[in-house]
Homo-oligomer: A and B are copies of this chain.
């Protein structure tokens, strides 16, 4: 059986001391193994990155960018292969994997513009004949720790910009679906990146803790759940590292009575169930303002959900695939059970989906819960499954209060035609990414991604302009030249110290 290893200093290899099963979640079968790096292997990766740093730091940004141009090209040429690898281990349908890859490529495209993005500010005459300017210099070795749900995209949020900024990188991807991440890393190597600039180690807590404590690592980017994000952030900070750690979410959509309801339903379908709801931007709660809107929403949603098709990643007619593990399947079902017990109405029940030919797969069908209330566990916690919950409120203000009271503040959306309602909502809601009739308001790669409240720990958001600031440190230089000796011909011969 194939074992997925590590990429260090331009070479892939398997350490061999410890490994873990990799499943195909659609069949429930173990298909590969993933090697788990020991502390010394991680340290080797860090050393490799450290060694590559000085030369890479001094490589002109335009040359660094050119490798990103080539990388983009290779990603596009290898798109099918990448999507297949994602599908096999994560379970998402290939069209969904293609969307993930596309979003990832957009971050590479942004990194191609690094010469522009790295410009500092130059001030002439801050005093008489004194000039001052800022430079944004790289940090050194930077680490990334990424989740299973976007094995291609989330790493691409991090390392293209970090590397384009002049840093070298060690990535610790999810051990659940490591193949696509590693394959993509090899494409970057193939694009001409010098050895050691980008390294990948697979592993578990030992690997993570090594990255968090090794003093050669200057910064850590993390995406995952909130408890882990909090751990990563505090540990990294205590070890003198810069850190940004993105955690969980509970994204609400407000459905206003004046919304174009067919459009809203259509948007919600993809936003709630796409990728089995295993997205930190999944729209998992619809807050309907007024019972009339709620009734219409639920009935149209129920109708639309009839056509939802669950199954294997390779069949493009499927809408979504299995969840990542058997344990996670049980957890999602548990949330539905609990909501039902506490009075929610299970309008569409996905707890026992029939997926012919994939009876052992970790499938949960699209589920619609109505009359969910804020005290239910299914409302309070992030389900990370294909479950859309409808909460009914009387006013828009009540809907907004609900959102603001939630622990998380990642994404949110309002469905309305009304300019005033949209502006009031986007201005006041305590959420970092806001959609107006856009259910998944994931910023494009040239803006930045980040939630508020306990959805993100750190000052700066992920990718886009903020990534430049996160992956560099500001240096300010103030310069005055002492006298006009040479210019005025007084001393063509410089004073010597003899």
Contact = CB atoms under 8 A, between A and B. Distances in A.
Contacts of A424: 484, 487
Contacts of A134: 122, 447-448
B125 A122 contact: no
Interface residues of A, number: 119
A99 interface: no
In this complex, the member of A73, A135, A478 whose beta carbon has the largest number of chain B beta carbons within 10 angstroms is A478
A263 B122 CA distance: 25
Most chain B CB atoms below 10 A, which of A424, A450, A474: A474
Given A419-B436, A420-B483, A478-B433, A492 B257 contact: yes
Contact of A441 (B257, B437, B469, B476): B476
Interface stretch (A25-33, A82-90, A180-188, A455-463): A455-463
Interface string A458-498: 11110001100110011111111111111111001111111
A120 interface: yes
A132 B427 CA distance: 14
A462 to B, nearest CB: 11
In the complex, the count of this chain's copies comes to 4
A493 B498 CA distance: 10
B290 A441 contact: no
B69 A257 contact: no
A421 interface: yes
A293 B479 contact: no
Interface in A118-134: 118-134
Contact of A492 (B65, B438, B444, B494): B494
Interface stretch (A56-64, A200-208, A307-315, A381-389): A56-64
Nearest to A484: B420
Would you list the 9 A-B pairs with minimal beta carbon distance, nearest first?
A292-B497, A113-B113, A420-B481, A418-B486, A494-B494, A436-B479, A257-B497, A122-B122, A120-B122
13 contacts: A60-B125, A69-B72, A110-B113, A112-B113, A122-B135, A134-B447, A260-B485, A420-B487, A423-B481, A426-B477, A433-B477, A434-B476, A450-B474
Interface of A: 58-62, 65-66, 69, 72-73, 106, 109-110, 112-113, 115-135, 233-234, 237-238, 240, 242, 256-261, 263, 289-290, 292-293, 296, 395-396, 415-424, 426-427, 431-438, 441-444, 446-450, 452, 454, 458-461, 465-466, 469-470, 473-489, 492-498
